[in-house]
Amino acid sequence: MIKLLEGAQAPDFALSDKEGTTHQLSSGAAKYTVLYFYPKDDTPGCTIEAQEFNAALPEFHARNVRVIGISGGTEKTKGKFCSKYKLSLLLLSDTDFSVANSYNAYGDKKFMGRSYQGIFRKTFLIDKQGMIVRIFNEVKPAGHALELLASIDALGESGR
């Protein structure tokens, strides 16, 4: 597995949303893409994170930033999750975890003494050329959307 670093090319992907529409990283025209990986649809932390990103979508769009969430699950679980919490956020299904693997966002986890394989909560800020600008390895769901907006605003001030 290749370790991704800031400044590296982000792996492209093609994944489906809740309607079965395929989306690719490389097809976006936004100045930046926030690509966030979350463990599972409709779990407490993932719900908080998705609701905060969803509420902040107008602010991301005003900055020409698209937001994409990726987890396992199916088109059906994504549809139920979006419907239950009225999410208009773009959530994509990585059923075989191949995209999460390519972003080093999948691996060994432990919860309550149990070991298993799963998706790590991890976020990538990617520019329109597909370069990784920033990696957020230690993500806390509450406040993460605002953390991303502040990071994007700081990039604008630094001339990037």
pTM for this model (two decimals): 0.94
pLDDT at 49: 97
Q: Which two tokens stand for residue 74?
A: 């199916």
> What's the pLDDT at 158?
54
In this model, does residue 143 exceed pLDDT 90?
yes
- Mean pLDDT for the stretch of residues 38-60: 97
Domain boundaries, the chain: 36-140
CATH code given to domain 36-140: 3.40.30.10
Q: What is the pLDDT of residues 32-43, one digit of tens each?
A: 999 999 999 999
CA 30-16-127 angle, 5° bins: 20
Q: pLDDT-based confidence at 159, cuts 50/70/90?
A: very low
Q: What is the pLDDT of residue 138?
A: 87
Tokens of 35: 């690509």
User: Mean pLDDT for the chain?
Assistant: 94
Catalytic residues, by residue number, are 46
What are the distances in angstroms from CA 20 to CA 17, 116, 126, 128, 145?
5, 28, 24, 24, 26
- pLDDT band for position 1 (cuts 50, 70, 90): low
Nearest in space to 149 (alpha carbons), one of 19, 86, 55: 55
